[in-house]
Structure 1
Amino acid sequence: MESLDWTLLRTFLAVVESRSLSAAASLLKVTQPTLSRHVRELEDVLGVTLFIRTARGLEPTEAALGLINDAKSMGAAAQALALKAFGRSQQLTGTVRVTSSVMVANLWLPSILADLRQAEPSIQIELVPSDTNQNLLRRDADIAIRMADPTQGDLIARRLGDAALGLYGTQSYFEKRGRITTMQELMQHDIIGFDRSDVILKIFAANGYRVVREVFPLRCDDQMVYWNLTLAGLGIGFAQVMLASKVAILERVPIDLIPPMPVWLVMHEEVRTNARIRRVADFLAMAITELLQNSATPRS
């Protein structure tokens, strides 16, 4: 039997996962005819049929099912090899991919990245704003700024500090509806909630108030839109103290419902030896740590 080409096995796994040549082609960023050719080549090398077409899509045969675990093991080994090779690069040139929450990408990182570009003009930055954690093991990003302790193995996490959260409303809102001093008063006000996320529901439940989504007259999961709804005076919203304390029109409700969020810088242990990634990671860590330490004293 001929030696197996990893490209063919990668195609095989993508088709198994997606059950569709077109979906697998989109995932691997190649054309559908190319994937179709890869499947035929692998079937010729192995001497078996790997997929049958059904109403639900391409279904793996018994022969294919017997290959999946071995193919995944080869894929993991190839990925580990690529990470190690990438980690040995010592040039302060090239691209570093950074991911963070939408709020951090919009309101923390622009000025920090401006300073980084001044310091390291040969390093290019790709910024991925996402409230869904990117998979660092798959190299969806090189560095992540996260508000939760990472649980994946093979990741290096550096805690940079804490970001306090508070409840805020605009002065005009409070002038119309009155100030708030107790939880009972808070529950009589318009609180801006989340749409599909249950995070705010859990916060209220942890404080003894089991509420349903409909308690919140306005709901949105997008963090930047949520922030702008609060600024527009549409109700009481959760906000980072370090951001809200710098906005003159916002007032903080003197009720704390949630502890500060830890801020982590995370990267794969293999890429921390890459000079440009290490440089960007160190720069971000220093800048964000300083930002958190120097947060303005919140307005009451």
Structure 2
Amino acid sequence: MLNWDDHHLVLTIARSGTIAGAARRLGVNETTVARRLSAAEAGAGTTLFSRMDRKLVASAAGRAVVAAAEAMERALAKASREEEALHGTVRVTSVLAVIEHLIVPHLAQFARRHPKLVLELIGTNETSSLARREVDIAIRLQRPARGKLVARRLGRVRFRMAGRSDQEPAGYIAYERDLDDMPEIAAIRARFGATSPRARIATLSGIRVASEAGLGAAMLPDWMIEPSRGLCVIDASVSVERPLWLVVHQDVKERPAVRAACDWLAEIVTGRAGNGDKMSAV
């Protein structure tokens, strides 16, 4: 069995044509090169070079080792180029609850894995920022209907009706008015007889705090209910599941930095949201 050092040695000798030339390239003496070649041939169980007109010419076995070494060299060069490209900033947008509860707790892991790459996390419900190239990646609860985008389903988020365990809710809390058609809001509105909400709050974090304070019932993801000391599921029959999508623009999806960020986000978010899918065009 030959290791990378053996492959590199054989490749260098093949390119140099002589022990002396290989020694100069490797920065060692000729005796060392000759000794290492003998050891490599012993490891391969065959002669790797023959002498022809004072040149060393690779045998059939030697040519196979050279080809393998060149493939390794190309793979190392590609990996090095990609590693060099893993620097700068990747802008990621999602609703604040996803950022704060699913992504931020794991950022230290991302920093260790990609120390030269910075994630800029932007909490917003804005859906057109990908098309305008204001962000690189979006994580959304709705799949975009059109555009030069590719999407991957990361899993499903289950919303359940939560409230204080020590009191009957007097009403419910909703998002801002233009989000009344969201499935979870439609479900809780139906539960309370289509009455008006007691308050409208733009973020899930704000809704959770208001519900903990006793304002009313709220539709919250399981991962916001479970760690709360004041909330519990108060009506298990009011439950909605929504897919969680990772979306990128087609023009940037192959950028090494964006691809690395997508892979990591899919890894950590899918772990909390369930089984995901492969990327597919919108």
C-alpha separation in 2, matches of 1:285 and 1:208: 34
Confirm or deny that 1:271 pairs with 2:252: yes
Confirm or deny that 1:211 pairs with 2:194: yes
Confirm or deny that 1:159 pairs with 2:159: no
Q: Which amino acid aligns with 1:114?
A: A
Deviation at 1:167, TM superposition (A): 0.6
C-alpha separation in 1, matches of 2:214 and 2:176: 19
Paired position in structure 1 for 2:112: 118
Counterparts of residues 9-158 of structure 1 (less than 5 Å): 91-158=85-152
C-alpha separation in 2, matches of 1:211 and 1:200: 14
Q: Which amino acid aligns with 1:128?
A: I
C-alpha separation in 2, matches of 1:233 and 1:156: 41
Paired position in structure 1 for 2:207: 226
* 1:149 counterpart SS class: coil
* 1:160 counterpart SS class: strand
Q: Which amino acid aligns with 2:111?
A: R
203-212 or 275-284, larger mean C-alpha shift = 203-212
Contact 1:89 1:274 in 2 (8 A): no
CA separation of 1:281/1:199 partners in 2, compared to 1, >3 Å: closer, same or farther? same
Q: Which amino acid aligns with 1:230?
A: S
* 2:177 counterpart SS class: coil
Deviation at 1:194, TM superposition (A): 3.3
- Over residues 24-71 of structure 1, what are the superposed CA-to-partner deviations in whole Å (9 max), with x where a residue is unaligned? xxxxxxxxxxxxxxxxxxxxxxxxxxxxxxxxxxxxxxxxxxxxxxxx
CA-atom RMSD in angstroms:
2.7
C-alpha separation in 2, matches of 1:209 and 1:253: 13
C-alpha separation in 1, matches of 2:190 and 2:98: 27
- Over residues 117-164 of structure 1, what are the superposed CA-to-partner deviations in whole Å (9 max), with x where a residue is unaligned? 121110012111002224212211101111111112211101010010
C-alpha separation in 2, matches of 1:228 and 1:249: 9
Tell me which of 205, 223, 228 is aligned to 1:247: 228
Q: Which amino acid aligns with 1:117?
A: A
Tell me which of 217, 222, 226 is aligned to 1:236: 217
Deviation at 1:113, TM superposition (A): 2.1
Paired position in structure 2 for 1:30: none
CA separation of 1:137/1:218 partners in 2, compared to 1, >3 Å: closer, same or farther? closer
C-alpha separation in 2, matches of 1:112 and 1:270: 27
C-alpha separation in 2, matches of 1:218 and 1:226: 9
CA separation of 1:251/1:135 partners in 2, compared to 1, >3 Å: closer, same or farther? same
Deviation at 1:190, TM superposition (A): 2.1
- Over residues 235-277 of structure 1, what are the superposed CA-to-partner deviations in whole Å (9 max), with x where a residue is unaligned? 1111101221232431202243452110111101121110011
Contact 2:96 2:123 in 1 (8 A): yes
Task: Work out the percentage of aligned pairs sharing the same amino acid.
Answer: 27
Could you list the runs of 5+ residues in structure 2 that have no partner in the other structure?
A: 1-81, 276-282
* Aligned length, in residue pairs: 192
CA separation of 1:165/1:289 partners in 2, compared to 1, >3 Å: closer, same or farther? same
Paired position in structure 2 for 1:199: 181
- Over residues 167-224 of structure 1, what are the superposed CA-to-partner deviations in whole Å (9 max), with x where a residue is unaligned? 111223x2xx3xxxxxxxx7xx321233423236961499587625xx3223323332
C-alpha separation in 2, matches of 1:94 and 1:116: 14
Contact 1:99 1:134 in 2 (8 A): no
C-alpha separation in 2, matches of 1:195 and 1:289: 28
Paired position in structure 2 for 1:82: none
